[in-house]
Amino acid sequence: MKLTTEDYIHILETCEIKGHDEAILRILRYIELGYPVMLYGPPGNGKTTIAEHILSYIGGDEDESSFLKIEATEGMSEYQVIGGFHPLAMSGNAELAKEFMYKDGIVTRAIESGKNLLIDEFTRAPSSAYSGLFLLLSRDTLPLEYKETVIKKPEGWVLISTANFGDEGTFKLSNALKRRFVPINVGYVSSATEKTVISNITPDLDPEVENAIILFASATRSLWRRDRSIPQGLSTDGVIKMARYCELAMSQGFDAKSVFVDAAFHQGTIIADETDPHSVQLVQELALKIAEDM
């Protein structure tokens, strides 16, 4: 896959996600080199949006129909990823059994229709779901026993995956599988970037509340980095939700301090470990302390 300088610039400039130019550049370089990439980082910081943006651009279609996407789940298996005999192939009804012989999985459908592929939330499925994909990535071909054919990894086929490493409810990637993807970190962006993002989305937000939200976000991230006393910091997505909520509530006549605390408690419940009262309390105290100085 050859990309021109104009392609790079266009992709960077039209991306809704701000502050991740470095990560986007890295992704594009590996795509040019023909390697599958895995965007990883805490939830809500733009991984899926970046992947979709890049894939829809390089597929030559802005409406996202130029690539296939699957969101991995805990119950996902080889059947959904590569394909296999359809359950109705065993039907007592001969007509049905004939009609539903087998079903192609997402990888097979992508390759056979010449489309690139996004596997979102990759680590939500166990590594066993990916054994066929693993073989395809190692050998470039994969025999499909269920329909007696062989698929071949097409020249320039682009595969992007996303993952929250270490998140609750995710599987540990097998090392063998991990080596098939180049990991690209998509972490928290700077406060300055987030300020620009929310000024665009919520232009009427009270500046004092805006500051408080940005401060709250960076304080939760410090807590997370320091000793993991909370499982994640507030994401940019969380910052945007707080900003929108506060802007709306203040337009209804509520005061800055109380709308900020209100929104911070909502988002705090999301980022804290809700089964650990200490973790929830920590985030709430943080919000109250920031509100005191408003």
Ligand X SMILES: Nc1ncnc2c1ncn2[C@@H]1O[C@H](COP(=O)(O)OP(=O)(O)O)[C@@H](O)[C@H]1O
Residues that bind Mg ion (CB under 5 A): 47-48
Contact in structure between 89 and 100 (CB atoms under 8 Å): yes
Instruction: Tell me which of ligand X, Mg ion, none is bound by residue 237, counting a contact when its beta carbon lies within the kind-specific cut-off of 5 to 8 angstroms.
Output: ligand X
Choosing among Mg ion, ligand X, none, which partner's interface includes residue 44 (Cβ < 5 to 8 Å by kind)? ligand X
49 binds, among Mg ion, ligand X, none (CB under 5 to 8 A by kind): ligand X
Which of ligand X, Mg ion, none lies near 287, with the C-beta cut-off 5 to 8 A by kind? none
CB of 51 to ligand X, least distance (A): 8
| Strand ranges, E, within the chain | 37-40, 67-71, 83-85, 102-104, 116-120, 141-144, 149-152, 159-163, 182-185
Taking each helix axis as running N to C, give the angle between helix 256-271 and helix 277-292, from 0 to 180 degrees, rounded to the nearest 10.
160
User: 46 touches which of Mg ion, ligand X, none (CB within 5 to 8 A by kind)?
Assistant: ligand X
Binning the chain into helix, strand and coil, the percentages to the nearest 5 are 55, 15, 35
Residues 6+ away with beta carbon under 8 Å from 158:
1, 31, 36, 55, 58, 67, 116, 117
The site map against ligand X for 155-174 (x = CB under 6 A) is -------x------------
Does 17 bind ligand X (CB under 6 A)? Our answer is yes
Interface with ligand X (CB under 6 A), residue from 11, 19, 59, 117: 19
Residue 18 or 195 with smaller CB distance to ligand X: 18
Strand ranges (E), 53-145 = 67-71, 83-85, 102-104, 116-120, 141-144
For ligand X, the binding residues in 39-98 under the rule CB under 6 A are: 43-49
Interface positions, 227-246, toward ligand X (CB under 6 A): 236-237, 240
Cβ(57)–Cβ(69) below 8 Å: no
CA 22 to chain centre: 17
Q: From CA 278, how far away is CA 285, in angstroms rounded?
A: 10
If the CB atoms of residues 20 and 103 are measured against ligand X, the closer one turns out to be 20
Q: Cβ of 35: how many Cβ atoms within 10 Å?
A: 14
**Residue 154 near ligand X by CB under 6 A:** no
Q: Judge contact between 81 and 109, C-beta under 8 A.
A: no
Least Å from the CB of residue 53 to ligand X: 9
Does residue number 123 form part of the binding site for ligand X (CB under 6 A)?
Answer: no
Name the amino acid, one letter, at 281.
Q
Task: Report, in Å, the least distance between residue 79 CB and ligand X.
Answer: 25
Q: Which does 198 bind (CB under 5 to 8 A by kind): ligand X, Mg ion, none?
A: none
The DSSP output letter for 79 is: H
Residues that bind ligand X (CB under 6 A): 16-20, 43-49, 162, 189, 197, 236-237, 240
